[in-house]
Amino acid sequence: MTTENVKLSSLFAPEQVTCHLDEMTCHEAFRHLIKLIGTGDHTVDVEDTYQQVLARKSCGIAFVQPGIAVIHVRVKGLEQLRMAVGTSRKGFRCAANVEGVTCAADGLSSVKLIVMVLAPLDDPTGYLRSIAALTHACQQEGFIEQVFRQEEPENVWETFEEANEYLPAYLVARDIMNADFLCLYDTDTLSHAIDAFCRLGVSELPVIDNDGDLVSIAAEDELIRVCLPEYITWMEDLTPILNFEPFAEILRRESHVPLLEIMQFSDRYATVDEESPAIHVAKVMLRRDVHQVYVTRDKKLLGVITIQDFIHKVLRA
Amino acid sequence: MVHGNEAEAPMSGSALAIRFAILTASSAVVSGLVHFVWGLNNAQTISVTVFLVIILATLFFWSFRLAIAFIGLPALILTKTLDLECFREHCSLEVILFLIGMMVVVGGLRDLGFFTWIIQAILKMQGMTGRRFVLVSAVASALSASAVDEVTSILFMSALIFQVCDVLKVRPIPFLIICVMATNVGSAGTMLGNPVGILIGSRAGLTFEDFMIWAFPVMLLSLVATIALLLVWYRKEIMELDARLKQRRDHALPLGPTVAVPFRRGLLLIVGTIGLVALHHRIEVWLGLETNSVLYMAPLVAAGIVMIWRRGRARHYIEHDVEWWTLLFFLMLFGVAGTLQYTEVTTEIATSLKNLIGDDSVAMVPLVMTMAALGSAFIDNVIFVAAFIPVVQELIGEVAPVHPLWWALLFGACFGGNITMIGSTANIVALGMMEKRYRTRINFLEWFRVGLAAGITACLIAWLALLVTGPIMLGSQG
């Protein structure tokens, strides 16, 4: 299992890099990259691994930056993280257009760099740590352009080597959060919240102010509590509320009732700093009995981590 | 009636061992002291020890208190410290039946929307300000405690506090504390307010009218003083509430939805029950019945009517609204406390007090009130009162029932409940609800500071009132 001080460039060698995959479909590129890893590590069953890629939803593709895709599979028997890199000037062709089959790996036409990551089956975080290191490398000025510019595998590998990026020793909240989240503004009304709950099918939404700072969360169960408070539910005889009479007040005033009405007190939701270890997020979820945690920098909301994110990214991704 | 959450946070093995060691050591030390220093005989020592174990068990092992009472009672009987006849005599079955009846009536009132109606009436009040909200909620808490019981009162008043604080997004703790303290003060107003009231009434032979004449006005005075103190104590929080209420009023937004509640049936039930209880003495005299026989039977009659009226819910009322756990504990406790009288431990205590203060029982008012207040602050006030009633009986001697010491015991036990957060069942129930809802706990000192001030204030008012009314009580008896 990969541990500390692992350099990103040490996960592959120039032999696991192919430039100009322009003539290949995306599926062919996947198989090719797996085969490159297989030549360096005989524990990898190329065909079996390829079938695993195809079996995953959208081939398990993650986009770390525009134009850069990462495909990941856990491989039984593999002892350490392995990587292969492929570049393309034109982008990858969709397999469906060529083979007449359903291709789940859409959206690759603008991708110029594919990174295939194979991780040991029992390494929960290796893949995510490699993505974190790759993301950091991509954030370095000129790194992406330089990789795209290279004509030879050795030069591609050297670009990675010169980036001098190491896999983080452990995952932090930022590495597993979903930065693409939906939210409400503290100036919104109950009407906005009800619309959002109905449209999105979520049970709670973060509420931010104009500076992007997390103010509170608006929760569905609080909305129901506002409509039907405890003191009304004490009555055994429901005749006075058979037609949802208490909800009428909300319908009449929802457009000018401030969102504050259904915001939770700060002790009812959990926040973590972006630098908190990811395992701390799991602890917070269990201790606080919450299904999602909000990731912040100071007070600014950066992302959301749900239990589903955990299960997906740590146990299945 | 008592719907407290019995669930207790799981205790670690070491915490359990430490508490058990303290319980055992304290019991051993006290039994040694009372036997060798005070000179109590074996039976007296056993009864004091078992009683002490039950007291400490309620402190350290709240959820095991009934189990310990179950073991304690046989321990007394098997060691011949208590016999079955004496247990039957002291277990106050009539008080237990009274409480069962009231619990069923309260269940019926809840089903009929009576409490919903009261909360809605407060929520609908026009021009509500922070100060007015505190006044209304505190007075409503006190009066409803007097009318039904302290735990029922705090259960539905907590719902009002949570509703208003949730809507206005203010911290509920200060307003919950105000209501709890008003509830504890109000519970001294009538026999219905607190199990302690009916127990004292039962043993002393006091009537509902006696409570209305000698306790209710003192309760009102103490309530005014307590509310005044709390208004000053929590002035910042009340100002914040006031500002939020103003914003709400400016936008013409209500504090919560309200519906048309058919409240008349509930009102008829509560007025009928209280009316029957209030007139019990006159009915007894008129029909030539034993003292307080109508008092104990009135809630049973009302409960019977509720169960016929709402026959589909009858089983629910008995199985869920009657707090059997607490009632069985009271039953055992009254029997165990009776042992102290049976073995003449209470006579020894009364003699010691007489040696300390002298024969003037009126001069003992502040002492009894202070002991009851301090006792109730740290242990269940029912336990303290059950044990102390025979002592007061010894101190008073064979005189007419109305005596200042009974009221001193009542006020001390009820008002002392305000001193700590574990001082009364109402405190524990309210804090449990808050903890469950807001996942927050109140600091012991945060409560203690205001509780001590409120407890002392209310007790001082009661003492001053008894200084005035005491001679009148004794004078009216010739």
**What type of residue sits at position B64?**
F
Q: Which residues pair with A83 in a beta bridge?
A: A117
B313 touches chain A (CB under 8 A): yes
Q: Which residues pair with A118 in a beta bridge?
A: A73, A82
The beta-carbon neighbor of B440 closest among A231, A249, A267 is: A267
Burial of A207 (0-12, 13-18, 19+ CB in 10 A): buried
Question: pLDDT tier at B1 (50, 70, 90 boundaries)?
Answer: very low
Out of A101-110, A157-166, B20-29, pick the least confident: A101-110
Residues of A in CB contact (< 8 Å) with B are 225-232, 234-237, 239-241, 245-250, 253, 256-257, 260-261, 263, 265, 267-268
**Is the ipTM beyond the 0.85 threshold?**
no
Residues of B in contact with A232 (CB under 8 A): 116, 257, 259
Domain map of chain A by residue range?
A: 8-168, 184-316
Chain B closest-CA separation from residue A235 CA (Å): 5
- Whole-number pLDDT of residue B441: 80
Q: Do B167 and A227 touch (CB under 8 A)?
A: no
Chain A closest-CA separation from residue B102 CA (Å): 18
Chain A closest-CA separation from residue B277 CA (Å): 26
B113 touches chain A (CB under 8 A): yes
B259 touches chain A (CB under 8 A): yes
Cβ–Cβ < 8 Å for A73, A52: yes
The beta-carbon neighbor of A235 closest among B111, B169, B439 is: B111
Q: Tell me the percentage of chain B whose pLDDT exceeds 90.
A: 50
Out of A53-67, B214-228, B317-331, pick the least confident: A53-67
**What type of residue sits at position B425?**
T
Residue A104 has pLDDT above 70, yes or no: no
Most confident of A17-31, A196-210, B23-37: A196-210
B262 touches chain A (CB under 8 A): yes
The beta-carbon neighbor of B257 closest among A229, A235, A265 is: A229
Interface mutation target, options A231, A244, A260, A265, chain B, most CBs of B under 10 Å: A231
Arithmetic mean of pLDDT, A214-229:
90
The beta-carbon neighbor of B262 closest among A227, A229, A240 is: A240
B275 touches chain A (CB under 8 A): no
- Whole-number pLDDT of residue A100: 54
Q: What is the side-by-side order of every strand in the sheet holding A204-208?
A: A184-185, A204-208, A214-219
Q: Do A245 and B112 touch (CB under 8 A)?
A: no
Question: What is the tens place of the pLDDT at every residue in B56-101?
Answer: 877 777 778 788 889 888 888 888 888 898 888 888 899 899 999 9
- Whole-number pLDDT of residue A149: 87
Interface mutation target, options B258, B259, B263, B321, chain A, most CBs of A under 10 Å: B259
Question: pLDDT tier at B271 (50, 70, 90 boundaries)?
Answer: very high
Name which of B49, B172, B29, B138 is nearest B454 in CA terms. B138
Cβ–Cβ < 8 Å for B197, B410: yes
Interface mutation target, options B123, B169, B248, chain A, most CBs of A under 10 Å: B169
- For residues B449 and B435, give the distance between their C-alpha atoms in angstroms, rounded to a whole number: 20
Residue B2 has pLDDT above 60, yes or no: no
Name which of A24, A37, A11, A190 is nearest A91 in CA terms. A24
Q: What fold is seen in the domain A8-168?
A: Mannitol-specific EII; Chain A (3.40.930)
- Whole-number pLDDT of residue B339: 87
CB-facing half-sphere around the CA of B400: CA atoms within 13 A: 9
Residue A105 has pLDDT above 60, yes or no: no
Task: Tokens 């001590």: give the residue.
Answer: B452
Residues of A in contact with B120 (CB under 8 A): 231
The beta-carbon neighbor of B163 closest among A231, A241, A246 is: A231
Chain B closest-CA separation from residue A243 CA (Å): 11
Question: What is the tens place of the pLDDT at every residue in B281-334?
Answer: 899 999 999 888 999 999 999 999 999 999 999 999 999 999 898 889 889 888
Q: Do B261 and A231 touch (CB under 8 A)?
A: no
B254 touches chain A (CB under 8 A): yes
- Whole-number pLDDT of residue A2: 43
Report the mean per-residue pLDDT for chain B. 88
Exposure class string for B13-45: b at 16+ Cβ within 10 A, else e: eeeeeebeeebeebbeebbeebbeeeebeebbb
- Whole-number pLDDT of residue A148: 86
- Whole-number pLDDT of residue A76: 85
Residue of B nearest to A254 (CA): B253
B162 touches chain A (CB under 8 A): yes
Chain A closest-CA separation from residue B304 CA (Å): 18
Residue B473 has pLDDT above 80, yes or no: yes
Most confident of B55-59, B85-89, B159-163, B427-431: B159-163
B110 touches chain A (CB under 8 A): yes
- For residues B347 and B361, give the distance between their C-alpha atoms in angstroms, rounded to a whole number: 15
Question: What is the tens place of the pLDDT at every residue in A294-303?
Answer: 999 999 999 9
What is the number of CB-based contacts under 8 A between chain A and chain B? 79
- Whole-number pLDDT of residue B6: 46
Exposure class string for A163-196: b at 16+ Cβ within 10 A, else e: bebebbeebbbbbbbeeebebbebebbbbbbbeb
Residue of A nearest to B260 (CA): A240
Q: Do B163 and A230 touch (CB under 8 A)?
A: yes
- Whole-number pLDDT of residue B428: 85
Instruction: Please give the residue that has the higher pLDDT: either B22 or B242.
Output: B242
- Whole-number pLDDT of residue A24: 81
Residues 6+ apart with CB under 8 A from B387: B51, B337, B340, B346
Q: Do A235 and B119 touch (CB under 8 A)?
A: no
Question: pLDDT tier at B130 (50, 70, 90 boundaries)?
Answer: very high
Interface mutation target, options A228, A234, A243, A259, chain B, most CBs of B under 10 Å: A234
DSSP-derived letter for residue A174 is: H
Question: What is the tens place of the pLDDT at every residue in B188-208?
Answer: 999 999 999 999 998 898 999
Q: Do A265 and B159 touch (CB under 8 A)?
A: no
Residue B9 has pLDDT above 70, yes or no: no
- Whole-number pLDDT of residue A196: 92
Do A8-168 and A184-316 come out as alike in CATH topology? no
Chain A closest-CA separation from residue B54 CA (Å): 35
Chain B closest-CA separation from residue A273 CA (Å): 22
Report the mean per-residue pLDDT for chain A. 86
Q: Do A231 and B112 touch (CB under 8 A)?
A: no
Residue of A nearest to B158 (CA): A231
Out of A97-111, B75-89, B362-376, pick the least confident: A97-111
Residue A250 has pLDDT above 80, yes or no: yes
Residue A4 has pLDDT above 80, yes or no: no
Q: In which element (H, E) is residue A297 found?
A: strand A292-297
CATH superfamily to which A184-316 belongs = CBS-domain (3.10.580.10)
Burial of A134 (0-12, 13-18, 19+ CB in 10 A): buried
Residue B399 has pLDDT above 70, yes or no: no
